[in-house]
Amino acid sequence: MLHAFQFLNYRLALQMSESDRILYLGVPVDTFESLFQEKLPQEAVKVDQVKLLIYNPVEEVIIQWKN
């Protein structure tokens, strides 16, 4: 939960100083496939308009950008 709070604070600070930048939350694919399939995280992403970057940490590749 602390990471989500840090992300939201960082996004707010970035909006205040560099409003043209877009912040994405990097999420490992295994976390996305488990945690982010549940209703609460899905709703939190939707309500807080969190943009996700899903990546494979082993292959070091981006799997998907979600706006």
* Backbone torsions φ then ψ of 27, nearest 5 degrees: -130, 125
State the pairing for strand pair 24-28/51-56: parallel
Beta-ladder partners of 27: 54
pLDDT at 57: 96
Coil, strand, or helix at residue 10?
Answer: helix
30-64: per-residue pLDDT in tens? 999 998 889 988 888 898 888 999 999 999 999 99
pLDDT of residue 61: 97
What is the DSSP track for 23-40?
Answer: -EEEEEHHHHHHGGGSHH
pLDDT computed for residue 19 by the predictor: 83
Spell out the residues 6+ positions from residue 62 whose beta carbon is closer than 8 angstroms to its own.
53, 54, 55
pLDDT in tens, 1-21: 547 678 888 888 888 898 888
